[in-house]
């Protein structure tokens, strides 16, 4: 199988025959360049990593890469936009609970909770990749914000368990939502930090 990375043909030893070996060598080469795999195409068909590894056959594989820093910036930009939508969604949840559309509101709240977890994980992973600690973002209080947000989510969970839906709406509006909005600001500040030249 011919292997190309960013349009350049790679020569691997003859014994490199399995897709696992090819993929491992491609990732190693890209890591040396400060990149990761962005896309995989085999014989003109775009594949996910799992599909590539499970593939038997194929004449030509093409790997396109992306700089790690660029990937981080893309992820943070998407995360910042997602946080805005998440804030709007939480406001809708509170509205639904106040309108006694409880089942609908709780269903949307479950999705929002998953989104909050995803956002925190994206931010954490991007911080690691950028080498930025909590105290280096904005006013340095990201760690406190995360702790407070978790505490507010636990209080909201208690309201759910006790069936106090108006209290839950209040906790969302006054406890969770303001911290989500601040988290979006911090995520945007992390984007700005990531755009600074590497020293």
- pLDDT tens, 84-118? 899 999 999 999 999 999 999 999 999 999 999 99
pLDDT bracket for residue 16 (50, 70, 90): low
Q: Which regions of the chain carry the CATH code 3.10.20?
A: 2-67
- pLDDT tens, 24-62? 999 999 999 989 999 999 999 999 999 999 988 888 999
Tell me the H-state helices in the chain.
Answer: 19-32, 49-54, 68-98, 102-130, 142-161, 165-171, 177-195
User: Given the structure tokens 């949307």, which residue do they identify?
Assistant: 108
Q: Which regions of the chain carry the CATH code 1.20.120?
A: 70-195
pLDDT at 131 (0 to 100): 85
- Classified by CATH at the fold level, domain 70-195 comes out as 1.20.120
At 46 the three-state DSSP class reads strand
Predicted TM-score (pTM) of the model is 0.73
Domain 2-67 grouped into CATH 3.40.50: no
Determine the average pLDDT of the residues in 130-143.
Answer: 88
What share of the chain in percent tops pLDDT 90?
A: 62
């Amino acid at each position: 199988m011919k292997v190309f990375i960013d349009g350049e043909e790679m020569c691997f030893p003859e014994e490199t025959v399995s897709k696992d070996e090819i993929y491992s060598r491609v990732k190693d080469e890209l890591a040396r360049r400060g990149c990761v795999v962005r896309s995989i195409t085999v014989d003109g068909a775009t594949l996910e990593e799992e599909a590539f590894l499970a593939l038997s056959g194929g004449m030509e594989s093409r790997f396109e890469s992306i700089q790690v820093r660029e990937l981080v910036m893309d992820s943070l930009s998407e995360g910042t936009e997602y946080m805005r939508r998440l804030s709007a969604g939480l406001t809708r949840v509170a509205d639904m609970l106040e309108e006694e559309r409880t089942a609908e509101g709780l269903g949307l709240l479950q999705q929002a909770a998953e989104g909050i977890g995803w956002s925190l994980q994206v931010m954490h992973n991007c911080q690691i990749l950028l080498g930025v600690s909590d105290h280096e973002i904005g006013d340095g209080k990201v760690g406190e914000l995360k702790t407070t947000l978790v505490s507010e989510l636990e209080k909201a969970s208690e309201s759910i368990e006790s069936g106090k839906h108006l209290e839950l709406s209040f906790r969302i509006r006054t406890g969770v939502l303001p911290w989500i909005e601040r988290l979006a600001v911090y995520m945007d500040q992390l984007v700005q930090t990531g755009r600074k030249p590497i020293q």
